[in-house]
Amino acid sequence: MKKHNNGISNAQALKNLGAKNIIASTLVSVFFIAMIVVFFFVTYSSVRDSILTRGELDSALTAEQLNRYLISGFDVMKLAEYRVNTMLRDNASNAEILAFMTEQSDTITNARNENFTGIYGYIRGEYLDGAGWVPEDDYVPTERPWYTAAIEMNRQFALVDPYLDAQTGTVMMTLAVMLCDNESVIALDLTLAPIQAIMEESAAKHSGSYSVVIDGTGGVVAHSVKEHLGRNYLQETDTLGALIARRIFMQNELTFTINYHNTLYMVYVTPIENEWYSLSVIDASDIFIPLRAIMISTIVLLIITIGIVVSVLINISKKTLTAERLNTQLSSVSDIYLSMHDIDLVNNTFTCIKIKDPKVEKMIGNSSTNAQETLYTVMDALTAEMSRADVKQFLDLGTLDERLSETDSNTLTVEYLKSNDIWCRARFIVSERSPAGKTTRVLFMVEQIDEEKRRRDKLQYLSETDRMTGVNNRGSGEHKIRELMDKDVGGMFLLLDADKFKHINDTYGHATGDKVLIALAYCLRRAFRSSDIVMRLGGDEFAAFAEGIGDRKLASEKLDRLFSNLRSVRITELEGSPINVSIGVAFYSPNDKCTFDELYKRADTAAYESKKHEGCFVSYYNSLTDSVET
């Protein structure tokens, strides 16, 4: 029999199979059969979800376009409402108002907007129509739906329920609004024909689907099948529309299926403004077409499964070669590490797998005992002073299992600086656990990450720092303060802004204004400790949080330093003018339990008081009396 490239023939592989491998192959066969069953149901679910998604998109698109269309009508009416209200307040005559309504109606006509009629209304006891329509003698405007609906809405726009125009065969609706005298009303009719066209176009894309818009009474506002216009589904029985309407209005369902005359329909509903609903109704019988394909695919997959079982039986015999190849691949992966060690935690011993640094190799020598002491000695010699404490804590093998359990992970890492100023990452990876789950063996590996670390730190610095002044930006500063408050760390919070900063920009130029901002940030940094938080809020506004400062005496000392720093600032362009600031201070105590937003408001209230005074001035917020003290 011909041998494969790995040097092991299929005949040899089959000959070497034992009982255990046969059992394993049987389990593999069962697994593949289970996978086929899962695949069948997943595909079925996928097809169903696809139909639902299509329905959701269709109904949502119709709802969006209807809302957009109504907005255009609202825009026309808002302008008319504003102008007529102005004319009413100016005691303009009805003739003047009619002239305006006629002008607006002509504008709509000239724009060739066939979707809107002219503007009409009931003004101070008289019916006025901008389109020139003259009503019959028995026409009573105050009894018309457009008038009564507008009065009920009390100066808010009313959307009058749609109606089917008997002459044009299109669905119309009316926008109306009560005017400032509380009895006059103007209105605008618009046709829903554009929405009708949109739904017909949408339904044409998908065979067996319908697009519908119904109002809150069950009336059909628009339908991809024109014959349904003007019908009221809630007043019908034993129709598809009736069944759908009852599910929506009586059972409050927005996604459901209906079996009507042996056809399964899937319905997706999107609510629209004014208690309307956009419906997408899809004939789901198409789902059986892909299911038949799935059944055929299942038969094919069963046949393939038999071939897979045979292939698995052969490949089991070749696992030794596979393992060797895996070892080669793992060796390639290990090249990224400076050193690798296998550590037995039970016996406190280790085995060197790989060491690139001759210095480290010399320090370890032939020793394989006392893994803990060896790790401490070697890493202490290689680690910079600033990282030694963190590295020593990380290397503690006695607490390693506990730390791994706390992280719910099989790996722990620490980043540290080597004595030659190169950043590295040390890593523990669990390689063996006891039956009880306790870590018994780990891999200890070290890799160099200097370029990655410095690039990451630079990106973090840029994301947290205000580019102009070098202090924290608003986002990072607030985040740090909130973290301290969450840990119940008390302190002083202040808000600061430069007095007459706009005058500085207007008089001396924005470049000088920028120098003032940089000077303010510099003075704040000098006045506060490196552990304090200084940030620029934007413009000429700054804030700071000083941990541990809880009273005016300590605050005054720090603010005196700040004012002293400001007095020493010399900006040539200011021609000797000093930089004055207004400051508001609020103290945070863990017992206070206020939020950061509340603390900010307190300091802002105090800063507002400071702005009333000339020169550098500080005001303090007293949380006990809820007042500002100067």
Please determine, for residue 166, whether its predicted confidence score (pLDDT) is greater than 80. Answer: no
Predicted local distance difference test score (pLDDT) of residue 321: 45
Q: How far is CA 456 from CA 199, 337, 423, in A?
A: 52, 20, 12
Choice among 14-23, 171-180, 354-363 with the minimum mean pLDDT: 14-23
Predicted local distance difference test score (pLDDT) of residue 532: 93
What average pLDDT does this structure show over 585-604? 92
Domains belonging to the chain, first-starting first, are: 10-317 (3.30.450.20), 343-455 (3.30.450), 465-629 (3.30.70.270)
Listed in sequence order, the DSSP H helices in 90-239 are 94-110, 145-153, 193-205
- Six token digits for residue 552: 């005016």
The helix (run of H) or strand (run of E) holding residue 75 is helix 19-89
What average pLDDT does this structure show over 16-38? 66
DSSP string, 486-522: HTT--EEEEEEEETTHHHHHHHH-HHHHHHHHHHHHH
Predicted local distance difference test score (pLDDT) of residue 3: 43
Cβ neighbours for 236, distance < 8 A, ≥ 6 positions apart = 242
Q: Beta strands 581-588 and 617-622: pairing type?
A: parallel
What average pLDDT does this structure show over 622-629? 85
Predicted local distance difference test score (pLDDT) of residue 5: 46
The model's pLDDT over 89-122, given as tens digits with 9 standing for 90+, comes to 999 999 999 999 898 888 877 764 566 778 999 9
Cβ neighbours for 439, distance < 8 A, ≥ 6 positions apart = 345, 400, 401, 404, 430, 432, 433
Cross-strand partners of 276 = 272
What average pLDDT does this structure show over 183-206? 78
What average pLDDT does this structure show over 55-63? 71
Spatial separation of the C-alpha atoms in residues 542 and 535, rounded to whole Å = 6
Please determine, for residue 186, whether its predicted confidence score (pLDDT) is greater than 90. Answer: yes
Asked whether 10 and 1 are in contact (CB, 8 A), the reply is: yes
Please determine, for residue 560, whether its predicted confidence score (pLDDT) is greater than 70. Answer: yes
What average pLDDT does this structure show over 287-300? 67
Burial of 595 (0-12, 13-18, 19+ CB in 10 A): exposed
Residue 437 phi, psi dihedral angles, 5° rounding: 95, 5
Predicted local distance difference test score (pLDDT) of residue 203: 67
Please determine, for residue 493, whether its predicted confidence score (pLDDT) is greater than 90. Answer: yes
Cβ neighbours for 425, distance < 8 A, ≥ 6 positions apart = 413, 414, 415, 416, 446, 447, 449
Cβ neighbours for 181, distance < 8 A, ≥ 6 positions apart = 88, 124
Please determine, for residue 325, whether its predicted confidence score (pLDDT) is greater than 80. Answer: no
HEC string of 339-391 equals EEEEEECCCCEEEEEEECCHHHHHHHCCCCECHHHHHHHHHHHHECHHHHHHH
What average pLDDT does this structure show over 409-415? 88
Choice among 34-48, 63-77, 270-284, 407-421 with the minimum mean pLDDT: 34-48
Helix (H, G, I), strand (E, B) or coil at 449: coil
Asked whether 65 and 199 are in contact (CB, 8 A), the reply is: no
Cβ neighbours for 516, distance < 8 A, ≥ 6 positions apart = 498, 501, 504, 540, 571, 574, 579
* Distance from the Cα of residue 302 to its chain's centroid: 44
Which residue has tokens 């009413």?
A: 88
Please determine, for residue 2, whether its predicted confidence score (pLDDT) is greater than 50. Answer: no
Please determine, for residue 494, whether its predicted confidence score (pLDDT) is greater than 60. Answer: yes
Choice among 47-61, 77-91, 257-271 with the minimum mean pLDDT: 47-61
Could you tell me the pTM of the whole model? Answer: 0.39
CA atoms within 13 A on the CB side of 257: 11
Please determine, for residue 405, whether its predicted confidence score (pLDDT) is greater than 90. Answer: no
What average pLDDT does this structure show over 79-90? 92
Predicted local distance difference test score (pLDDT) of residue 37: 65
Predicted local distance difference test score (pLDDT) of residue 257: 87
Q: Beta strands 185-191 and 491-498: pairing type?
A: unpaired
HEC string of 271-289 equals EEHHHEEEEEEEEHHHHHH
**pLDDT, mean over the chain:** 82
Please determine, for residue 307, whether its predicted confidence score (pLDDT) is greater than 70. Answer: yes
- Six token digits for residue 225: 């099948």
What average pLDDT does this structure show over 606-621? 93
Predicted local distance difference test score (pLDDT) of residue 284: 75
What average pLDDT does this structure show over 363-381? 80
Predicted local distance difference test score (pLDDT) of residue 624: 82
Q: Where does the pLDDT of residue 509 fall: very low under 50, low under 70, confident under 90, or very high at 90 and above?
A: very high
Please determine, for residue 478, whether its predicted confidence score (pLDDT) is greater than 60. Answer: yes
Spatial separation of the C-alpha atoms in residues 173 and 160, rounded to whole Å = 6
Predicted local distance difference test score (pLDDT) of residue 158: 80
Spatial separation of the C-alpha atoms in residues 431 and 411, rounded to whole Å = 10
> How much of the chain exceeds pLDDT 90, in percent?
33
Residue 348 phi, psi dihedral angles, 5° rounding: 55, 45
